[in-house]
Amino acid sequence: MEHTNKKPSQLISKILLYFSLCVFLFISIFPFYWMFVGSTNHTSKMFTNPPTLTFGDQFMTNLTNLNESIGIFRVLFNSLFVSLTFVILSLLVCTFAAYALSKFKFKGRNTIFLVFVLSMMIPYQATLIPLFRMMTEFNLLNTYFALIAPQLCFPFAIFLMRQNFLAFPDSLIESSRIDGAGEFRIFWSVVLPSMKPALAATSIYLFMMQWNNFMWPLVAVNSPEMYTFPVALSSLIGISMIDYGQIMVGISIATVPIIIFFLLLQRHFIAGMLGSAVKG
C-alpha cells in the first residue's frame, strides 16, 4: 500500500467498520427496547402504522391481566424455587464428582469421565419419554421433584469443575493429608475456597439452563399452578384471543432480571456460559 493514499482509505474503512458494528448492535438490542415499549402499551398499539416506539401507561393494566391469566407470582416462585434448588444441589453433586475425577487415581476413572462426556452428545429427546413414564409410574408428575431431579447430574458442570480442579496443586492436598486432615475436610476447607470463581461461573451456567428450560417442564407438568415461567408464557400464545400487552409484560419479566444480572456480572456470566471453551 502506498503511503500517500493510506490515510483516507483507512479512514473510510474505519467509518465502514463502526457503521456496520453499530447496525449489528442496533439489531441485537432493539428487540429488547421494543419489548419494554410493548409492555407499557395497549395491545392495539403494537400493530399500528407507523409503529409505536414510545412508552405508554398501560404497564399496570397489562401486569394485572397477566396475573389473572397465569398467576404470575405463583409461576415466578416455581421457576425461582426450582432453579435455585437445582443450582445448589447440582453444584454439590457435580463438584464432588469433578473432584474425584481430577484428584484421585482409581479404577474406572477414565471410563466414568468418558461416559459423562459422551452422554452430552445424546439428544435430550432420547431420554424424554422414559423419564416421563418413570414420573407417571411413581406419581411424580406435577411435583418439584420431577422438575429438579432428572438433570442434577449435569455432565457439563462436572466437566467445567474438573478443568478447574486440575489446575489446583496436588502438593497442597498431599501436605494437608500429612497434617492429618480428613478427605472431606481437605475438600471443604483447603480446595473449595480457592474455587470461588469457578463455582460462580458454573452456578450461573446451571441457573441459566434451568431458568430457561422448556421442553422437560412442558412434559413433566400439566397443572397450571405447577407451571414454570417459560411454560406459563408459552401457554398464553395457545389461546384464541391473544392479548399481546400482557405477553409483552410476561416476556419482559422473564428477561429483565437476567439482563440486570448479566450486566452486573458479565465477566462471570460469559465465563459460565462458555466454560472451558474460553481456555480453548
Please, which of residues 66-105 interact with other proteins by CB under 8 A? 92-94, 96-97, 99-101, 104
Binder among 128, 140, 181, 200 for other proteins (CB under 8 A): 128
| Cell numbers at 71, concatenated | 398467576
Neighbours of 207 (CB within 10 A): 20
Interface positions, 11-40, toward other proteins (CB under 8 A): 17, 20-21, 24-25, 27-29, 31-32, 34-35, 38
Nearest to 152 by CA among 162, 144, 140, 163: 144
Smallest gap from Cβ 274 to other proteins, in A, equals 6
User: Most distant CA pair in the chain: distance in Å?
Assistant: 79
Binding to other proteins by CB under 8 A, coded x per residue (else -) over 132-161, reads xxx--------------xxxxx----x---
Task: Name the segment binding other proteins (CB under 8 A); options: 56-64, 66-74, 195-203, 262-270.
Answer: 262-270
Interface positions, 48-67, toward other proteins (CB under 8 A): 48-51
Cell numbers 423419564 label which residue?
131
Cβ closest to other proteins, residue 31 vs residue 193: 31
Binding to other proteins by CB under 8 A, coded x per residue (else -) over 210-249, reads -xx-xx--xx---------xxx-xx-xx------x--xx-
